[in-house]
Amino acid sequence: MTTCININGTIEDEAFVSVLDHGFLFGDSVYEVVGTRQNKTCFLIEHLQRLRRSANGISLNIPFDDEWFRREIERTIEIADNQESYIRIVVTRGVGDIDIDPSSCHSPCTLIFVTEAHTYPVELYENGIHLAVVSIKRNSKDALNPGIKTGNYLNNVLAKIEAGRLGAHDALMLNPSGQLTESTTSNFFFVQDGRIMTPSLDCGILAGITRDTVIQMAHENGFPLEEGRWPIEALEKADEMFLTGTIKQLMPVTRLDGKTIGDGKPGPITRRLMNLYQNLLDRLE
């Protein structure tokens, strides 16, 4: 495994970020994670668009255009020379005073982190994972909007810790109104009577790129799908559940709070969408 870190267009054997960088001090940053297929980036345009939306959401200027990102990502992937790559793009506010006021930060720092792709064990896709509904609530949209992909992930970290204590692989979070939102790094879907359901963006979730792709695939292949607001009780009659994300792709969920979902195996709609997604990735250039 080879890891390469590109900082503002420079790749060095040892990469360092200042301890005075506000991304380090305060989580004042935005980021994206990009996957590859045959070591070519997947959905890079969509990730860069979301990166810029996130930056706009925190009034952060990104000093480079999309062509620069494309070129530097390709160069860093080539130097790392892994079979498949995990790519993390981070733009921080930059170095400033030890004060939350960002006005002292004049030069944003842009990092492109490339390492060998992380893959989940095959048995998790075959058997599904266990989720736990946690007491940690998802950030309110009018506090720290989950639709902005920032480096401040403490909300998610605390939820992940609680899920682990409950013996689950991951957490399912509710918003302050008690409605379903998402997992710690993934969007959430459930199936009831053949209908695919997923929390809407106004519940306070990230507009996931894999989520958007699955919604589009569902529409194109005749699956009824609804985005909406649901309380936790809506899951009592769920036949299937799954998560979506760049690295997880589509991950079946077969247990919630220790209770078996459906027959305890990934359901037919989940499996069908998993196959459709893999076929889509195979067609990407």
User: Which string of DSSP letters, residue by residue, matches 85-129?
Assistant: EEEEEEEE--B--SSS-GGG--S-EEEEEEEEPP---HHHHHH-E
Residue 27 pLDDT > 70, yes or no? yes
**Which pLDDT band holds residue 157 (cuts at 50, 70, 90)?**
very high
pLDDT in tens, 39-91: 999 999 999 999 999 999 999 999 999 999 999 999 999 999 999 999 999 99
Does residue 279 share a domain with residue 142? Answer: yes
Where is the domain boundary, 70, 99, 116?
116
Using CA of residue 59, residue 23, residue 117, residue 200, what is the dihedral sign?
A: negative
Residue 247 pLDDT > 80, yes or no? yes
Where is the domain boundary, 116, 137, 169?
116
Does residue 183 share a domain with residue 134? Answer: yes
pLDDT at 272 (0 to 100): 98
pLDDT at 1 (0 to 100): 66
Give me the number of domains the chain comprises.
Answer: 2
Does residue 276 share a domain with residue 211? Answer: yes
pTM score: 0.96
Where is the domain boundary, 116, 149, 165?
116
Does residue 63 share a domain with residue 128? Answer: no
CATH number for the domain spanning 219: value is 3.20.10.10
Does residue 151 share a domain with residue 103? Answer: no
Does residue 234 share a domain with residue 185? Answer: yes
Does residue 91 share a domain with residue 39? Answer: yes
CATH number for the domain spanning 62: value is 3.30.470.10
Does residue 49 share a domain with residue 172? Answer: no
Does residue 277 share a domain with residue 173? Answer: yes
Residue 278's nearest CA partner among 250, 244, 245 is: 250
**Which pLDDT band holds residue 258 (cuts at 50, 70, 90)?**
very high
Does residue 208 share a domain with residue 157? Answer: yes
Does residue 221 share a domain with residue 254? Answer: yes
Does residue 171 share a domain with residue 85? Answer: no
Question: Residue 42: which domain range?
Answer: 4-116
d(CA 23, CA 108): 9
Looking from the CA of 69 toward its CB, the CA atoms found within 13 Å total: 26
Are 240 and 267 in contact by the 8 Å Cβ rule? The answer is: yes
Residue 100 pLDDT > 80, yes or no? yes
Task: Compute CA 135 distance to the chain's CA centroid, rounded to the nearest angstrom.
Answer: 21
